[in-house]
Amino acid sequence: MNVKNTVLIAEKMFESQPAVRVDLGPDRHFLPADYHAALDRILAKDSGNIFAVRLVGKSFEGRPIRLLTAGSGRTPILLWSQMHGDESTATAAIADIINYLIYHGHKEEVDLLLSSLTLHFLPMLNPDGAFRRSRRTAQHIDMNRDAAALQTPEAVLLKNLQYSLKPEFGFNLHDQELSTTGSADTLTAIALLAPALDHEKSDNEVRRKAISIAAVFAEVMKRFVNGKIAKYDDSFEPRAFGD
């Protein structure tokens, strides 16, 4: 999909956001059961069968973790959110995106997107932490430092999906603390990271692709949040899943 089409889809989604925004309550934190109930209400309107939904596992305390898949394109994408239970922004955004794709499933830009990509959404990967409004899992582990040890069932689930789905790109979606863009006083709206693969921050084909995607994303997002896009710290972290 070229940059022109990417801009078109971004503009359509931005224009539609007020109409497709999913009401998850007045608090930025919401319970896992409430979130899945909201998703079920959205999916009940999926008359075009855009989404396939399957239970792919459960958390340490037995809460369901579901994968929602749309599209038939040759490029598979895996997006997961809330591996830190107190970082709910992207989880809410995923609900809005799912609602958008269902609500506008008949439109040309949605057909273009779903014929180019296969989108796998894994929202609220840490439902136990979300239930407690806690960064860590029920085992008191920071899941984004569990990529190597794999002590949590949630991290194992994510790793297994990586092997089975073989995504071309993975998006580890986080919140961030309030920070400014560079030396300016403007608060950052979004920060992007193409993770380093070693302490020297070397590049390989995978990282170069991630940097290219981040560059295109930043260029498109300038239309909506110009001056509010930052680069996140890319120090090497061998225990992390990457972002």
pLDDT in tens, 173-186: 999 877 777 767 78
Mean pLDDT over all residues of the chain?
93
The predicted-structure confidence for 207-226, as pLDDT tens digits, reads as follows: 999 999 999 999 999 999 99
Residue 20 pLDDT > 80:
yes
Residue 2's pLDDT is 73
Buried b / exposed e along 131-160 (16+ C-beta atoms within 10 A)? bbeebbbbeebbbbbbbeeeebbbbebbee
The pLDDT value given to residue 1: 67
Q: How many whole angstroms separate alpha carbon 217 and alpha carbon 220?
A: 5
Position 46 pLDDT exceeds 90: yes
Query: Does the predicted TM-score (pTM) go above 0.85?
Result: yes
pLDDT band at 187 (very low <50, low <70, confident <90, very high): confident
Is the pLDDT assigned to residue 53 strictly greater than 90? yes
Ranking 19-33, 123-137, 172-186 by mean pLDDT, the lowest is 172-186
Residues 6+ apart with CB under 8 A from 148: 238, 239
Say which range, 15-19, 127-131, 180-184, has the weakest mean pLDDT. Answer: 180-184
pLDDT value at residue 178:
75
**Rounded to whole angstroms, how far apart are CA atoms 172 and 83?**
8
Residue 163 dihedral angles phi and psi, to the nearest 5°: -70, -40
Q: What is the pLDDT of residue 177?
A: 76
Distance CA 91, CA 215 (A): 23
* pLDDT over 70 at 134, yes or no: yes
Average pLDDT of the segment spanning 69-91: 97
Average pLDDT (34-43) is 98
Residue 243 has pLDDT above 80, yes or no: no
What's the average model confidence in pLDDT over 46-60?
Answer: 97
- Residues 132-155 have a mean pLDDT of 97
**Position 8 pLDDT exceeds 90:** no
Give me the percent of the chain exceeding a pLDDT of 70: 99
